[in-house]
Amino acid sequence: MRHRLGWAFVIPTLLFLIIFNVFPLISSVVLGFTNSELTGGSWEWVGGRNFSRVFNDPKYAAAVRTTVLFTVVAVAVELALGFILALALHRDFRGKTAILTLLLIPMMLPPAVMGIYWNFLFDGDYGVINQVLHAGGLLAPPQWRTDPGLKLLAVVAVDVWMWSPFMLLISLAGLGSIPKHLYEAAEIDRASRWMVFRRITLPLCAPLLGLAALLRATDALKQFDLVMAITGPNDASTQTLSTLLYQVIFSNQRVGLGAAYACVVLVLVIALAIGVTRALARMRSANAGQAV
Amino acid sequence: MRGCVPVRERFHARLADQWEYHMSRFVLSLAIIFSTVLTPAFAVEPTPAKATATEPLTIWWAQWAPADGLQQIADVYAKETGTKITVHQIPWGSFQDQVFLNFGNATTSFDIVVGDSQWLGRGATRGLYVDLTSWLPGAIDLAGIKPQALSNLCEYPSGSKHYFAAPCETDAVGLAYRADWFTDPAEQAAFLARFHRPLAVPKTWTEFAQVAEFFHRPAQNRYGNAQLTGRGYDAMAMGFQQVLWSYGGSWGDAATYAVHGHLDTPEAVKALEFFRTLTTFGPKGATNLDYGQVLDVFTNGSTAMSCTYFAFFPTIAKQLGPKVGFAVMPANGERHAISLGGQGFSVSAKIPVPRQEAAKKFIAWFNTPAVQRQWITKEAGFTANTAILASAEFRAASPYNAAFADSLDHVRDFWNVPVYNELLASAVKHLGEALDGADAQASLRAIADEHEAIFEDAGLKK
């Protein structure tokens, strides 16, 4: 009876997962072996042709490079900036709540809207950033939206502005969870501030920071909204995997080929997630060893 | 205490039974909800609505001034026939995606789509557009339609006399220039002194570059020209291809689909390098200006010349008044080619036949000379009717009409094959790289490689 009761609890969730996760996943893999198009109509099995095209497509390789570069740079800067801000805010002072609230605002705004908003700020002619730079004496301010060396940097800058507060929040939670007696013991031992940071603060926050980095990295790997709003889906300097997928499936209407691209992306993301999860587990067990 | 244990066990057992009962009801309810909600979503063929001649029709078009004009014309049709027509306008950025996503359904939400000329091949070969070949010649006087417009906006393949669209909005790229700057005596004197010829509206690309260079004074926030260079959809290709054709290059051979030897020739490289030079005489960010931005930099009064579609010219004329003049795009010696614009009416093949017939009736009515005369009075309503285009009345009706009529003799279009968008995306991407500083020849060769691979993959290459 208990066994059946257990199933009764599990079945709705299982059904939900099968209908909305497993079924689309299987369907997507199957589509990857067809020449199916967005507008429907007849389709044929094409074997591994789509997958072979994915691996031989220079656009795909370029999109992987851009996505990885974007993810590594954006997440690293966000992590560093968020942690530094958290260290600065991890004490009581007047106006702390107000500052924290202000810092959290970008994270709460829709990325697509923010992309359009920053697009205006980055405009080479009438954008506020260049107007300020020009007023400050820079006669030839950088062209954020058209200089190939700056386009990706512009997208990274907006992402950092939006998501550093997320790292700040997680870092604050990590800092708050460190037992005070460890700092007291360090003080008694006359440990330097750098030693305290290196031996207590950083190692004890690391698992939480690692988790935050994993969450942000999986999100950054899907970067779509900001690229669409700032440079468009078809710009060689900023085309990420998501915008390439959009281009293939919606603009070119090649659903079969797009599904093959998506399957390969999925494998990459799963591999990354497994790698980071294992690293986190190792970090946690190392911390536990130190505590013992 | 001991006597209490069986009572507690009985209570727990009853509670568990009740839980099981309620959970099984809950699961059953969920199953019913899922089946009710999801069954229609997975249904293969929705029941088509019964259609009558007076049933309302829906047209999908992009969101711009001509669509407002079409709605006004459609209201006249409703008064005459009782058939109400709604023109549903979709922002340009998502127009293509929304239309083709909708074509993925068993029945489309629209009866007529005013689709881009490049869509013809896809619509025709994928069974999305109704084949109008046997109907169109009897419904519309095709001899009275500008042949270039008929061939590029309605026919697939071009020259085959197979029609999948009927004329709606005919358009071409034109030149808008600051007439007040061109007629300023001080500017004329300075230009004459520098280039040893009078300052005039450029008739050749060489003259165009000289005028653009002359007016390019960034320190005074004054710029020479604005070209279509946007990376979003087709702006870059539309802007560049007229220079490409005028310099003797082309996108490829329409018969064999060979691209090498057409797009990567020295003439084509020269065209791309020239196009890149033109962007150096443009406002900041001139290497990535979409349609809206080309309009903005001209209407904000900072740019001397702007090359964009005639459909935007009423807005320019309204904002700048007598300060602006309009002309035909420049040529290069004997070679004179202009990017075609505009869209044709296509009837959805995914609606019931009676609705298709009702849609055809409207299209035939719209193309009668009397209605075309009304159409040209609407903002940016441009016709392909040769008699109207040639009439003195039309040419004098606005400051840009004469230039529009003269431009249609030189229009050409991008590929309209089913894989047009892949070709477009590849072209825009590599042309963008060239404008950003990459080697012009390498960029064109990359496009040629990719285009031939796309044609090969689509089974078109011979």
Q: pLDDT digits over B260-282, tens only?
A: 999 999 999 999 999 999 999 99
Query: For chain B, how far is it from start to end, CA to CA, in angstroms?
Result: 94
Within 13 Å and on the Cβ side, how many CA atoms surround A132?
A: 6
Residues B306 and B350 in one domain: no
Lowest mean pLDDT among A41-45, B107-111, B200-204: A41-45
Chain B neighbors of A15, CB-CB under 8 A: 30-31, 34
Residues B208 and B159 in one domain: no
* The predicted structure's pLDDT at residue A287: 67
Asked if B27's CB is within 8 angstroms of A12's CB, the reply is yes
Is residue A235 within 8 A of residue B429, CB to CB? The reply is yes
Between CA B88 and CA B44 the distance in angstroms is: 26
A146, A147, A148, A152 alpha-carbon torsion, rounded to 10°? -80
Domains for chain A: give ranges and CATH numbers. Answer: 46-291 (1.10.3720.10)
pLDDT in tens, B219-229: 898 999 999 99
Residues B302 and B439 in one domain: yes
- B353: exposed, middle or buried (C-beta count within 10 Å: 0-12, 13-18, 19+)? exposed
Q: What share of chain B is helix, strand, coil (3-state, %, to 5)?
A: 55, 15, 30
* The predicted structure's pLDDT at residue A285: 78
Q: Which of A9, A39, A233 sits opposite B23 (nearest CB)?
A: A9
Dihedral sign, CA of B151, B156, B162, B164?
negative
Residues B428 and B296 in one domain: yes
Chain A neighbors of B46, CB-CB under 8 A: none
Q: What is the CA radius of gyration of chain B?
A: 28
Chain B neighbors of A155, CB-CB under 8 A: none
Residues B330 and B427 in one domain: yes
Cβ under 8 Å to A: B residues 24-43: 24, 26-27, 30-31, 34, 38
Is residue A37 within 8 A of residue A256, CB to CB? The reply is yes
Asked if A40's CB is within 8 angstroms of B429's CB, the reply is no
pLDDT in tens, A154-165: 999 999 999 999
Q: Which of B19, B284, B287 sits opposite A125 (nearest CB)?
A: B284
B462 located within any domain: no
Between CA B382 and CA B365 the distance in angstroms is: 16
Q: Which site among B22, B101, B290, B421 would you substitute to test the A interface, given the most A Cβ atoms closer than 10 Å to its Cβ?
A: B421
User: CB neighbours (10 Å) of residue B13?
Assistant: 11
Chain A neighbors of B31, CB-CB under 8 A: 15
Range of the domain at B147: 57-171+341-412
Residue with tokens 């900072």: B302
Residues B181 and B118 in one domain: no
Residues B220 and B369 in one domain: no
B13 located within any domain: no
B7 located within any domain: no
Dihedral sign, CA of B287, B292, B297, B298?
positive
Where residue A147 falls among pLDDT bands split at 50, 70, 90?
A: confident
* The predicted structure's pLDDT at residue A1: 67
Within 13 Å and on the Cβ side, how many CA atoms surround A88?
A: 12
B5 located within any domain: no
The whole-number average pLDDT for the span B148-168 is 93
Would the pLDDT of A79 be above 70?
A: yes
Lowest mean pLDDT among A116-120, B205-209, B240-244, B324-328: A116-120
Strand partners, B116: B343
Residues B159 and B275 in one domain: no
Helix residue spans in B155-290 (DSSP H): 179-182, 185-195, 205-215, 235-246, 266-280
User: Which helix H or strand E contains B354, and what residues bound it?
Assistant: helix B353-366
Q: How many domains does chain B have?
A: 2
Closest CA to B34 of A29, A13, A3: A13
Residues B320 and B427 in one domain: yes
Q: Which of A2, A39, A130 sits opposite B103 (nearest CB)?
A: A39
Cβ under 8 Å to A: B residues 276-295: 283-288
pLDDT in tens, A191-220: 999 999 999 999 999 888 988 998 899 889
Between CA B9 and CA B12 the distance in angstroms is: 5
Q: Which of B20, B104, B128 sits opposite A4 (nearest CB)?
A: B20
Where residue B233 falls among pLDDT bands split at 50, 70, 90?
A: confident
Is residue B413 within 8 A of residue B152, CB to CB? The reply is yes
For A3, the closest chain B residue by CA position comes to: B20
Between CA A122 and CA B288 the distance in angstroms is: 13
Would the pLDDT of B181 be above 60?
A: yes
Lowest mean pLDDT among A66-80, A108-122, B77-91: A108-122
A19 close to B (CB below 8 A):
yes
The rounded percent of chain A whose pLDDT value lies above 90 is: 52
A52 close to B (CB below 8 A):
no
Lowest mean pLDDT among A45-54, A281-290, B31-40, B294-303: B31-40
Where residue A286 falls among pLDDT bands split at 50, 70, 90?
A: confident
Residues B335 and B260 in one domain: yes
B78 located within any domain: yes
On whether ipTM exceeds 0.90, the answer is: no
Distance from CA of B334 to the nearest CA of A (A): 34
Read off the CATH number of the domain in which B132 is found.
Answer: 3.40.190.10
* The predicted structure's pLDDT at residue A168: 95
Would the pLDDT of B205 be above 60?
A: yes
Q: Which residues contact residue B198 at a Cβ distance below 8 angstroms, ignoring those fewer than 6 apart?
A: B188, B191, B192
Where residue B47 falls among pLDDT bands split at 50, 70, 90?
A: very low
Residue B195 phi, psi dihedral angles, 5° rounding: -110, 0
Q: Which residue has the higher pLDDT, A76 or A271?
A: A76
Q: DSSP string of A238-249?
A: T--HHHHHHIII
* The predicted structure's pLDDT at residue B17: 52
B179 located within any domain: yes
Q: Which of A125, A232, A236 sits opposite B285 (nearest CB)?
A: A125
Residues B215 and B286 in one domain: yes
B46 located within any domain: no
Residues B179 and B160 in one domain: no
